[in-house]
Structure 1
Amino acid sequence: MIQLTEFEQKLLETFSLSDRDARRLQRVIQDLSIIVGMDHEEIFDFMRFGVDHELEILKQDYNWEHFRIRIQKKLKKSPPV
């Protein structure tokens, strides 16, 4: 079993993810933090209330890169994908 960080554990519990997906989501959030200049906690707070549709798409296609791009566009207030 993978040893999760405290933040990954919070992601796992909030979004009902597997250990592996919690680690992936944490990496997506790290990437977004660098790109949009927001703290990872700010991105987490945004995701708790603003990405239901994107999570549903991710469950269907399991494409983490497209998921990251969709969230990035929402954070930058760009038109949706």
Structure 2
Amino acid sequence: MAKLVLNDEEISLEDGEAIKGACEEAGVPFACEEGVCGTCVVEVESGMENLSDFTEEEVDFLGEQDCERLACQCKIKNGTVKLRY
């Protein structure tokens, strides 16, 4: 079982689960949901290694990043990921 911490709220997720639903429930806005618009950019405070690899859409939109992800494109692999929106 993985854990997502978003703005200090802890949310349990299955390993390999997309984080979009949990982020949306926590108030992160979404628009296109395809990694194009950037509405759902979140800051990864810790646990980047516990997220899925960057998608092509994320690389196109964010470029080389070490602290931001698009919530619509991520899955949590395992462990704990701490995000800030």
TM-score, normalised by the number of residues in structure 1: 0.25
Q: Which has the higher contact order (CA 8 A, sep 6+)?
A: 2
Bigger Rg, which one: 1
Structure number having the greater helix percentage? 1
